[in-house]
Structures are given as C-alpha cells and as structure tokens.
Amino acid sequence: MAKIMAVNAGSSSIKFQLLDMPAETLIASGVMERIGTKDANGNAQEGIFTLKYNKNGEKVKEETNPMLPDHAVGVELLLKTLVEKNIVKELTEITGVGHRVVQGGEYFKDSALIDGPDGTVVNKILELADLAPLHNKAHVVGMRAFFKALPGVPEVAVFDTTFHQTMAEEAYMYATPYEWYTKYGIRKYGAHGTSHKYVSQRTAELINKPLEDTKIIVCHLGNGASISAVKGGKCVDTSMGLTPLEGIPMGTRSGNLDPTALQVVAKHEGLTLDDLLNTLNKKSGLLGMGGRTNDARDVTKGMNEGDHRCIMAFNVQSKRIADYIASYYVYMGGCDAIAFTAGMGENLTHLREKILNRLGVLGVVIDKEANDKAYGVEAKISTPESKIQCWVVPTNEEVMIARDVVRVGNVK
Ligand code: ADP
C-alpha cells in the first residue's frame, strides 16, 4: 500500500493530509501556519503546527509552536514528527506527494508529474503566476521543500483549473478584444476544479447513473464559492473566471459587477486599481454587504436579530446562486442532480432551502426535514417527486489529489 501526502502550500502555511492508498483512508492531517512570520521590528515569530492522528485507537489533535522560518524547515519538522510519533515507521513509506496548484492555465490539461525542483513543470507553474501571483509561487516553494526532504519520491501537481479545461470556447471566452486573450491569456479558467470533479463523480454514484449520462450542477459554497455545470463527467461551464473573483458573492469576494463601479469609487476616493481589487477580493461579499464578518454563521446571527444588511446579503447571495443554477440547467438542456458542498453548502440548511425554493419552477421540490438534518454528511434533500435530485455531498479534494499521484506518478 502507498502512503501519499496531499499538500496545499500557501505563502505562510502548509496544509497536509497523509492518506493510505488505494484504501483512501486518512492516516494524519494538519497544518503549519505562520511560516516566515515576523513582527513589526523584523523579529521572527513562532509558528503554529497542528497535527491530527490516531493515537492508540483514539483521535488526537496536538498543537505546538515551533519556529518556522521557511517552508523547508516546516516540511523537515513535519516529516520528523511523523516518524517520532510512529505515524510512519520510516519515511520510505511515503511513496508520493501531491500538490494542489491553483492556476494551471491552458497549458496543464491534466495533473503533471513534476520533473524536479527546477524542471519544466515548476517553471511553467511560475510562468503562470501572473494569473495567481500569491498562490502559484507559494506552491512551488512547497514543492521544492518536499524535493529537498524526500529526494527521489515522485511529486505530482494537481491543478484547480484542469477540470474546467473541457469548457467550450463559447463558455470560456470574454467579450473583450481578442488580443487580450492571445497576448495575455485573458479568459475564464475557473477554480475549485478538484472539488467539482470529486463531487460530480460521487453524485453520479449516489443517483445511480453512469457518469457519461449525467447532467450535474455542483455548488461549492465555502468562503470561496463557485458553481459548475458538469455534463457527462466533463465541466461545460463554471462561475469563477480568470481568477476566483468572478461569479457569485462569497465570504469576502464580490463576484460579478460592472467594472465601471471601480472608476466611480477610484475618482471619489483616490484609490488605485490594486486598492480596489483588494477591496473586491477581501472586503466585499458577505463581509461587505452584511457588515459583520465573512462567516455565514455571523450573517445568520444578524438575520436572526433582524439586521437588514445581513438579510440582504443572504438574499443577494441566494438569488445569484439560483440564477447560475437556472442558466446551467438551460445550457446543459436539463439537470439530473444539484449537489451542495464545502462549508456553507454542507452546513447552511437555510441557504440550501432558499436556493432550492427559488428553483421550484424547474420542478425542484425540497425535502425540508431531510435538509434540516443534513450537516456535513451525504444526504438526499429533495422529495421523490422532485424533477431534479438534490444532494449534500461533502467534498474530498485530498482524495482526488492522492488518486492523481497514484495515476500520474505511477505510484505503487
Ligand atoms: P474555504 O475552504 O473556502 O476557506 P470552507 O469550505 O471551509 O471555506 O467554508 C467556510 C465557510 O463555511 C465559513 O465561512 C462559514 O461561513 C461556513 N460554515 C462552515 N461551517 C459551518 C456551519 N457548521 N454552519 C454554517 N456555516 C458554516
């Protein structure tokens, strides 16, 4: 059996899961945070290392505060800790590493075996950093740290964008000057592809239909949120665009808007385009509209207190989600199932209810009791009369990454 490490490296963090394959069972998971963090005087700060695993048959969560000056130190410590705690007997048990990569552009149509810390794959990922500056560079730092710590172990890059590469030109092109596309790659790439792929495949199993014959709409509603239309197992449209800013309103992101708004605000407040994009990415969405936090639980609290802005934020978000589902229903010529996943999709019962009630005209009938009970578990939430089956399907991006390490890395 292979033990595969699924890694999501960010600029100051490394999230990881160690999985047993092909059983797909979780051995350990955790995160290293505050890597390379310094205070205002430039002094190095302590990091946070959280590790969850089974100790003598019991689930434990341990947190320590080591110094984590860079990713390489973090990875060394992680691997050393796995051996010390007897989670693996020796590091040779780890036979593959998979890295989540946010942007693969048009170049990566599938996951890719990484040909070394300075090879063509790494260089291509860095070249694509224009489209995801913070993310892609951080992923490469993570890859290099693992090459150093586990020499000779195959590493595979799994891109958030590859699942959306099957979109037709009519779905991915913007109506901007064509040269923007040919010169700068301006088009829709989408995101959360690994999740959309997992959830659409799992939903096909749950509705008991061959994937090739299915039309499924996946709503990945987390802090970042996107919707995909998946026909015959292939993505035909998705709500995120060149970057994850496009689409529905999210925790802190605005989703779609008329770009002229930027000109008006820039003129009045003397802001740059960078400032404004920062506001659209970090201070908009539920946070901007509702005025509380980006967390849907705080918006819900506000709604229960009768706060108009929270009620408005919820209504705007649910309307825009329903709009996307309806348009994908038309684009695919029908729909067998709508699947909800990620933090809000798996847990926010009243959001699912509001969205599905808005879709009554398509023959959607929610099973209110089943919906109210479905928290973070697979569950059917539509009645037998519903023309479209509706499901909660918890996502599992790490399993998809591990599967691709086995397939693309030819790991035994
Ligand atoms: P991301 O991976 O994009 O950071 P998640 O999928 O973890 O996001 O989703 C986070 C969001 O999901 C939170 O901001 C919160 O709004 C919502 N969420 C998570 N758990 C719950 C819950 N138990 N009840 C309601 N909302 C929840």
Domain limits, the chain: 2-159, 193-397
Q: Enter the tokens of residue 364.
A: 């959607």
| Main-chain phi, psi angles of 391, to 5 degrees | -135, 150
pLDDT for the residue numbered 132 = 82
Q: Nearest Cα to 265, choosing from 282, 251, 279? A: 279
User: Above 90 in pLDDT, residue 219?
Assistant: yes
Q: Which atom of ligand 1 is nearest to the CA of 342?
A: 6
Query: If you measure from the C-alpha of residue 54 to the centroid of ligand 1, how many angstroms do you get, rounded to a whole number?
Result: 25
Q: What average pLDDT does range 203-226 have in this prediction?
A: 97
The C-alpha atoms of residue 390 and residue 344 are separated, in whole angstroms, by 15
The C-alpha atoms of residue 330 and residue 325 are separated, in whole angstroms, by 9
pLDDT for the residue numbered 341 = 98
pLDDT in tens, 347-377: 999 999 999 999 999 999 999 999 999 999 9
pLDDT for the residue numbered 412 = 79
The answer to whether 160 is a known catalytic residue is yes
The C-alpha atoms of residue 308 and residue 301 are separated, in whole angstroms, by 12
Is residue 91 helix, strand or coil?
Answer: helix
Mean residue pLDDT across the chain: 96
Angle at 157 between CA 64 and CA 140, to 5 degrees: 60
Angle at 321 between CA 104 and CA 102, to 5 degrees: 15
The best mutation among 344, 352, 373, 375 to test binding of ligand 1, ranked by most ligand atoms within 8 Å of the C-beta, falls on 344
Q: Which atom of ligand 1 is nearest to the CA of 220?
A: 6
User: Above 80 in pLDDT, residue 336?
Assistant: yes
- What is the Cα 353 distance to its own chain's centre? 23
The C-alpha atoms of residue 283 and residue 271 are separated, in whole angstroms, by 15
User: Above 90 in pLDDT, residue 130?
Assistant: no
pLDDT for the residue numbered 28 = 98
Ligand 1 contacts (CB < 6 A) are: 222-224, 251, 294-297, 342-344, 347-348
Query: If you measure from the C-alpha of residue 65 to the centroid of ligand 1, how many angstroms do you get, rounded to a whole number?
Result: 25
The C-alpha atoms of residue 74 and residue 156 are separated, in whole angstroms, by 20
The C-alpha atoms of residue 172 and residue 188 are separated, in whole angstroms, by 5
pLDDT for the residue numbered 68 = 95
Query: If you measure from the C-alpha of residue 368 to the centroid of ligand 1, how many angstroms do you get, rounded to a whole number?
Result: 21
Q: Considering only CA atoms, which residue is closest to atom 23 of ligand 1?
A: 347
pLDDT bucket at 193, cuts 50 / 70 / 90: very high
pLDDT in tens, 41-94: 889 999 999 999 999 889 999 999 999 999 999 999 999 999 999 999 999 999
pLDDT for the residue numbered 328 = 99
CATH architecture for residues 2-159: 2-Layer Sandwich (3.30)
Q: Considering only CA atoms, which residue is closest to atom 14 of ligand 1?
A: 295
Third-level CATH fold of 193-397: Nucleotidyltransferase; domain 5 (3.30.420)
User: Above 80 in pLDDT, residue 224?
Assistant: yes
User: Above 90 in pLDDT, residue 321?
Assistant: yes
pLDDT for the residue numbered 11 = 85
pLDDT bucket at 39, cuts 50 / 70 / 90: confident
In the set 20, 115, 160, 275, the catalytic residue is 160
User: Above 80 in pLDDT, residue 1?
Assistant: no
The C-alpha atoms of residue 107 and residue 210 are separated, in whole angstroms, by 29
Q: Enter the tokens of residue 5.
A: 């490490």
The best mutation among 295, 301, 351 to test binding of ligand 1, ranked by most ligand atoms within 8 Å of the C-beta, falls on 295
The C-alpha atoms of residue 157 and residue 122 are separated, in whole angstroms, by 9
User: Above 90 in pLDDT, residue 133?
Assistant: no
C-alpha torsion 337→340→346→351, nearest 10? -110
pLDDT for the residue numbered 30 = 96
pLDDT for the residue numbered 134 = 79
User: Above 80 in pLDDT, residue 178?
Assistant: yes
Q: Which atom of ligand 1 is nearest to the CA of 224?
A: 3
Which residues touch 361 (CB under 8 Å, ≥6 apart)?
none
| pLDDT-above-90 percentage for the chain | 95
pLDDT for the residue numbered 290 = 97
Query: If you measure from the C-alpha of residue 73 to the centroid of ligand 1, how many angstroms do you get, rounded to a whole number?
Result: 30
Q: What average pLDDT does range 201-209 have in this prediction?
A: 98
Q: Considering only CA atoms, which residue is closest to atom 20 of ligand 1?
A: 343
Domains 2-159 and 193-397 share a fold: yes
The best mutation among 223, 340, 352 to test binding of ligand 1, ranked by most ligand atoms within 8 Å of the C-beta, falls on 223
pLDDT bucket at 213, cuts 50 / 70 / 90: very high
Q: Enter the tokens of residue 379.
A: 């569950």
Angle at 288 between CA 284 and CA 292, to 5 degrees: 135
C-alpha torsion 156→158→163→168, nearest 10? -80
Q: Which atom of ligand 1 is nearest to the CA of 251?
A: 14
Counting beta carbons within 10 angstroms of the beta carbon of residue 262, is it exposed (0 to 12), middle (13 to 18) or buried (19 or more)? Answer: middle
